[in-house]
Structure 1
């Protein structure tokens, strides 16, 4: 991961401008033009695949999660320096996290904010929590992470997103529009609310040159998807398989690219036709 500005130490690793002035100027220009993404929930699954895809495309990755940076799992460069550890279920911790992100940006534009982090608690015996069984504390934790954190991050980083004519992508879910055999009520309703929020944000942020979209993944092969669940659900999906994190990451990348420059307020289903 690159630094926000070029210092004297950085110059030493660039080609000698006196010997190759055009190449040196090009390297400096590329450094200045490198795009930056803020990504929550990057440690596994969809988030990890998204971080890797953007990193491979040359983007600088600033990550936020409640876990410390794991250099063994995260392949993007300077990851430890660009990681902000924050408990997203505590809204009082968000102002400090936003300040740390701004410090890392150091006045540079932000080109994308991906609100991927989410929690889906289960009962002690592993069953889904229904509207009859979900404790109040669980409702609060789920909505703080899945809905309030995206609101506060977008508000707090508005100036940087304006500078970058940025894109915001909220990760919703197929369970926001239908009852799911495993996902709990609090998780499902928080994702439905996030889909509604995406439309509202698209309207509110458009005058600032910022696009806001959502993706709604269905069954995706991540660490939390058991073989039993995959075997049960794959036959009812028209494509007869679950999706991969890479397939989701590619849609996120499209929504943050110039190819989607006139796309805002959309929620893109990524579920192999499971919703039809």
Structure 2
């Protein structure tokens, strides 16, 4: 464990499990204080926090629905009150929605997918910019959004609405990076492929795995490494970049 929280606070949305939990653990090991955001799985978030604290890090679990403006404001306020000044944000919270063809999609599923994946990302980034931007008296920082190779592949027959939401994340990342590039904020995204988490069933991993050049699903820890690098000073001249981590897919 590096100097605990020497790098400041990072808020990780959807940090209670899967890729989000791996990101929280990696950032804590790199010396950040971590706010582990969750929507419903409090026990999972508490377990992530407990593991970080046992390793000598600082972390807190904070409940918030990222698609709710009041919840987002409260998330940023509580995180800074408990863990210190904000240094960065990882927009990881996301859902796939129901799998199936577009002509089977319901409005409720579509609305919730866009609310979490797109509106939630934009709301959290907006509040981060208000804190981090030198234009607002901030000290700068880094925002990393979680996209998906689905934005490029389209996910036909399965998750076209999810793919569309991640396409929005790509364009938002590039636009915001250019908007705040001279205000001390770097904005990048990581686009995972098939990753061995709850979001990708074992059946899907077995079906898609053979089509991946590396012939396997990725791990949450591999995505966390990419996020941590983009968050770190090592990526000081990197902004507006979509980093694909997909085994070549």
Query: In structure 1, how many angstroms separate the alpha carbons of the residues matched to 2:202 and 2:59?
Result: 36
Distance 1:202 1:34, change over 3 A: closer
Match for residue 53 of structure 1 among 8, 12, 26: 26
Is 1:118 paired with 2:94?
yes
Is 1:160 paired with 2:131?
yes
Query: In structure 2, how many angstroms separate the alpha carbons of the residues matched to 1:104 and 1:182?
Result: 44
Note the C-alpha offset of 1:31.
Answer: 6.3
Is 1:99 paired with 2:72?
no
Note the C-alpha offset of 1:92.
Answer: 4.7
Query: In structure 1, how many angstroms separate the alpha carbons of the residues matched to 2:238 and 2:70?
Result: 33
Note the C-alpha offset of 1:81.
Answer: 6.9
Verify the 8 A CA contact 1:121 1:129 in the aligned structure 2: no
Match for residue 119 of structure 2 among 148, 153, 161: 148
Note the C-alpha offset of 1:73.
Answer: 4.3
Q: Residue 52 of structure 2 aligns to a residue in which SS?
A: coil
Is 1:200 paired with 2:200?
no
Note the C-alpha offset of 1:69.
Answer: 5.1
Verify the 8 A CA contact 1:114 1:168 in the aligned structure 2: yes
Is 1:43 paired with 2:16?
yes
Name structure 1 gaps, 5 residues minimum: 1-29, 123-127
Q: TM-score, normalised by structure 2?
A: 0.86
Query: In structure 1, how many angstroms separate the alpha carbons of the residues matched to 2:74 and 2:246?
Result: 36
Verify the 8 A CA contact 2:151 2:163 in the aligned structure 1: yes
Distance 1:61 1:81, change over 3 A: closer
Is 1:171 paired with 2:146?
yes
Q: Residue 103 of structure 2 aligns to a residue in which SS?
A: coil
Which protein shows a greater Rg? 1
Query: In structure 1, how many angstroms separate the alpha carbons of the residues matched to 2:242 and 2:111?
Result: 25
Match for residue 131 of structure 1 among 77, 102, 121: 102
Q: How many residues are paired up?
A: 239
Note the C-alpha offset of 1:32.
Answer: 7.7
Note the C-alpha offset of 1:80.
Answer: 9.9
Q: Which residue of 1 aligns with 2:65?
A: 87
Name structure 2 gaps, 5 residues minimum: none
Query: In structure 2, how many angstroms separate the alpha carbons of the residues matched to 1:104 and 1:49?
Result: 21
Verify the 8 A CA contact 1:69 1:83 in the aligned structure 2: no
Q: Which residue of 1 aligns with 2:222?
A: 247
Q: TM-score, normalised by structure 1?
A: 0.78
Note the C-alpha offset of 1:270.
Answer: 0.6
Query: In structure 1, how many angstroms separate the alpha carbons of the residues matched to 2:11 and 2:73?
Result: 15
